Amino acid sequence: MSDYMICNTIPAYAEAPVSYEMLKIDAPLILNAILEKQEKVKYLIVDKNDNELASILDEWEQSKAGNDIRIIGVDCKSGFTYGNATAAIKVIGGEKPIPSGMDQDVPVYSVEDLLGLSEKKVFINGSSRLKGAFSFPREVTSRAILEQCGSVKEFKGLYFGYPMGLFVSAEQLDVEIKLTTDLVTILDTGDCILDRLAAIKKTYQKESCGRCVFGYDGVMQINRILSDILQRRCKIGDLTLLMDLCSEMKKQSLCDIGAAAARSVETAITGFKGEIEGHILKNTCKAAVCNKFVTFHVLDNKCVGCNKCRSACVNDAIQGEQGFIHVIDLDECTKCGACVDVCREKAIVKAGLIKPRGLKQPIQCNK
Ligand code: SF4
Ligand code: SF4
């Protein structure tokens, strides 16, 4: 048995401060649970900028004079490296949270682990009908989460974690998932998996400690390939290249964070291959999210002829004048999206494969 233990309350995801909130709600319960641990030295890692929490901890310390919990305040509200056990060990030594190897048998506890709770609290976000904190059994199916939280449009899948995590598709609804993350994102037909994956990888690159060639440079290469796909510059074979790269990252990254980054790409490609290949082979974004794969259209039943979009279009791609239903010239449109932002009537829409029927020329509107 190790001679020390750590309770880490810094959230890996700012949107899902599970341990942190539990500590603030009932600090004495958690502090007493730490005291009950057998290890000689006990650490509690907290956000040092939270004055309210600091006074709760002060009050408790005074009431328990002689307790041996060492409270370590860090200047950070979240960051996925804090979720790594080997990085937490660096933190108690006064160093930055830099992982030092695969998670070994390190005595680092979340508050839920410490209390031995049978259920796991997770924050649900994304395209779910209900958002916020929910509790689920530690082994859960995506179906159970979907039944509780729903999706705004037709359900497409889930993402467990952020930025590292696992995509689960609608076909895998009944596969049991070990709930280790504090954040679950529900995805529906309004979400593009490729767009989500690119955002996830950018966040990973920003937060990564940068020490490991396969973990950091591997994700840079992934980002380059994803960006090429999104800019319609990709080559056939890029998906195979991504899978090969991920396989090497899993073997050669210094810590589990790099391997987890690779797994998120693999699960996206295996679970949503058709949708991702659609961008490469058919130049389509099924969800009409990725600008390079969509066209912009004015809905003639909504346009009131205010002319705002025409002023906003620096490419002169919109025809029409005050009082006329406007029309977008698809040959001139560079898909910048500026017109969508200024149209108060929500009359300009992006379309993927299925395009709305529109006018060829502006005509006077009767609104
Ligand atoms: S599309 Fe929107 S912004 Fe453009 S003229 Fe019609 S209502 Fe106005
Ligand atoms: S998307 Fe940009 S270029 Fe295209 S019509 Fe709208 S403002 Fe003009």
302 Cα to the center of ligand 1, angstroms: 8
Mean pLDDT score of the chain: 90
Handedness of CA 218, 124, 269, 281 (dihedral sign): negative
Q: What pTM did the predictor assign? A: 0.83
Q: Which of 309, 319, 341 to mutate to test the pocket of ligand 1 (most atoms within 8 A of CB)?
A: 309
User: Is residue 267 pLDDT above 90, yes or no?
Assistant: yes
Q: For 3-16, what is the mean pLDDT?
A: 89
User: Is residue 30 pLDDT above 70, yes or no?
Assistant: yes
Output the pLDDT for position 209: 78
Provide the pairing of β-strand 183-188 with 119-126.
parallel
User: Is residue 76 pLDDT above 80, yes or no?
Assistant: no
Q: The tokens of 43 are what?
A: 């650490």
Q: What is the longest distance spanned by two Cα atoms in the chain? A: 82
What's the pLDDT band for 291 if we cut at 50, 70, 90? confident
CB of 145 within 8 A of CB of 136? yes
Ligand 1 atom having least distance to the Cα of 304: 7
Q: Does residue 317 have its Cβ closer than 6 Å to ligand 2?
A: yes
What's the pLDDT band for 101 if we cut at 50, 70, 90? low
